[in-house]
Structure 1
Amino acid sequence: MKKALIQLHIAVFLAGFTAILGKLIGLNESLLVWYRLLLTVIALAIILYYKGQLKKIPRKEMLQIFGVGGIVAFHWLTFYGSVKYANVSVAVVCLAGSGFFTAFLEPLIFNKKIKLVEVLLGILAIAGIYIIFDFHPQYKVGIVFGILAALGSSLFPIFNKRLIVRYSPLVLTFYELSGGILVLTLVVPLYLYYFPATYYLPTILDGWWLLVLALLCTVVCFDLQLNALKKISPFTSNLAYNLEPVYGIIFAFAIFQENKSLNPQFYGGLVLIILAVALQTFRITRLKPLPVLHID
């Protein structure tokens, strides 16, 4: 159990560092995500091949899996867009809006009754984001990207829930990210038309950071998370991942001194978001949540 908890918190720590790497890598966000997907898919293909777990999936379900992969690509693209056009702190805080979207989208997609308490908690988090938006107009494009990233973050577990029970997480992730890179390849030319890049091939420094992002913060992070879930409860995992934005903000303050560019209203909005997360955490202690794989 102790080893599993250590693995889990290392995974959360690595996930919290992904936004920092997005700031350190100078590539346009669409190219950054494309290279991240490429390196991750290659690494997963090698791992699955040597484990003898690389298997074919029926074409009908392949389309569903590729669709989920497109959601992952959309989430990463908008998240790193938020990092680029705002900053790390704003980007990770905006992700708290995923609860608001989930409160409406999950009942709509699965034909369930909307839970008022989840809507209210989501609105509380959105109020925190609005305060930050209202008092940091210079980050408005980044905040819009951040809200879209929250939308992608909410859609991923909703659609992934039905797939995860039929396939091993590693195989599923390989095909999802393969679909993600296919979708992104089609989208990148149009995206670059509206959000031009200053350069297209990674510099040597970008290359090193991309390797860290793809191998350490994606493949290794995912493996640690899977191993931890064999020993600990899904609730413990989800609770630990609430620390991810906290790590992201701490890193941003320590590395980029972002605290110097944020006014007191940012912290007021952050308090509302933390309150929403804390109340939701308290509420689900009485429920039995399913295992959730976090792809950040």
Structure 2
Amino acid sequence: MKKALIQLHTAVFLAGFTAILGKLIKLNEGILVWYRLLITVVTLLVLFYFKKKLVKVSTKDALKFLGVGTIIALHWVTFYGSVKYANVAVALVCFSATGFFTALLEPLLLKKPFVWIEVLLGLLAILGIYIIFDFHPQYKLGIAFGILCALGSALFPIFNKEFVQRFTPETVTLYELGGGLIALTVLVPLYLLQFPATYYLPTASDWGWLLILAWACTVLSFDLQLNALKKISAFTANLSYNLEPVYGIIMAFIFFKENRMLHSQFYIGVGLILLAVILQMCRVYYQSKKANSIAANN
């Protein structure tokens, strides 16, 4: 159990570190994500080939994977756009709007009843983002990207529900990231018309950070999470991933001294977002404990 928890929190830390790498890699965000996907997909293809984990899927499923992969790819592009047009801390704070979008979209798309307490907690996080936006208008483009990133983050787990019941996590990851790579190959030229790049081929420094991003923060993080889930519950994993923005913001303060660029209103906004996250964690924990108690009594 101890080893599994260490693996899980290492995966969460690596996930938080992706925002730092987005700042260190000077490529345009669209090109950055294209290279990240290329390196990751090629690596996974080689690994799964030698491990004999490559699985063929039907054309219908392949097209579905392409659709979800497109959402994931655009989610990453908007995330790194938020990092570059605002900063790491603001991007990670905007990412917290995911809960609000999930509370709205999941009932609509899956035809489930609304959980109004989740909607209200999501609105609390949105209020925190609004306070940051209101007092930091220079970050408005980055915040807009961050909101779109949160929307994408809420969408793809909803569409993934069908896949995880029918395919292994390895198959889902490979086909979705492969679909994202295909989608970006088509979309990035159009994206660059609106957000031009200063250069297109990675520098030596960019290559180094890209390899860390693809191999450590994507492939290794994925493997650590899968191994951890063999010993711990998905509930524990989901709670732990709430620490991703916290790790990222702390690293942004250490590496880039971003705390010097932020006013007190930023911390008020973050406080409201953290309050929403903590209340949701407590609510889910209480519900899980109550469900376990009922199951034990039966």
The interval holding the TM-score normalised by the smaller chain is: over 0.9
In structure 2, what is the Cα distance between the partners aligned to 1:105 and 1:99?
A: 10
Report which stretch shifted further, 278-287 or 180-189.
Answer: 278-287
When residues 170 and 108 of structure 1 are mapped into structure 2, their CA distance, relative to the original with a 3 A threshold, is same
Describe the SS at the equivalent of 1:17.
helix
Give the structure 1 partner of residue 10 of structure 2: 10
1:157-212 deviation line (CA, Å, top 9, x unaligned): 11111111111101110000000011111111110001000000000000000000
1:256 and 2:256 matched: yes
In structure 1, what is the Cα distance between the partners aligned to 2:185 and 2:13?
A: 30
In structure 1, what is the Cα distance between the partners aligned to 2:175 and 2:144?
A: 29
- Deviating beyond 3 angstroms after TM superposition, the runs of 4 or more aligned structure 1 residues are 286-289
Alpha-carbon shift at residue 29 of structure 1 (Å) = 0.1
Give the structure 2 partner of residue 83 of structure 1: 83
Query: Unaligned regions of 5+ residues in structure 2, if any?
Result: 292-298
Superposition pairs of residues 136-215 of structure 1, within 5 angstroms: 136-215=136-215
Is the 8 Å Cα contact of residues 48 and 171 (structure 1) preserved in structure 2?
no
Alpha-carbon shift at residue 287 of structure 1 (Å) = 3.9
Structure 2 letter corresponding to 1:227 = N
Describe the SS at the equivalent of 1:165.
helix
Alpha-carbon shift at residue 286 of structure 1 (Å) = 3.5
Give the structure 1 partner of residue 120 of structure 2: 120
In structure 2, what is the Cα distance between the partners aligned to 1:287 and 1:43?
A: 40
1:1-60 deviation line (CA, Å, top 9, x unaligned): 011001001101111100000000000000000000000000100111001111210111
Give the structure 1 partner of residue 107 of structure 2: 107
In structure 2, what is the Cα distance between the partners aligned to 1:93 and 1:263?
A: 14
Is the 8 Å Cα contact of residues 78 and 149 (structure 1) preserved in structure 2?
yes
In structure 1, what is the Cα distance between the partners aligned to 2:260 and 2:269?
A: 17
In structure 2, what is the Cα distance between the partners aligned to 1:207 and 1:227?
A: 28
Describe the SS at the equivalent of 1:230.
coil
Compute the TM-score of the two structures, normalised by the length of structure 2: 0.96
Give the structure 2 partner of residue 282 of structure 1: 282
In structure 2, what is the Cα distance between the partners aligned to 1:60 and 1:16?
A: 34
Structure 1 letter corresponding to 2:19 = A
In structure 2, what is the Cα distance between the partners aligned to 1:241 and 1:178?
A: 24
When residues 149 and 67 of structure 1 are mapped into structure 2, their CA distance, relative to the original with a 3 A threshold, is same
Identity %: 66
RMSD, aligned α-carbons: 0.9
Report which stretch shifted further, 63-72 or 195-204.
Answer: 63-72
Q: Which has the higher helix share?
A: 2
Is the 8 Å Cα contact of residues 48 and 54 (structure 1) preserved in structure 2?
yes
Compute the TM-score of the two structures, normalised by the length of structure 1: 0.96
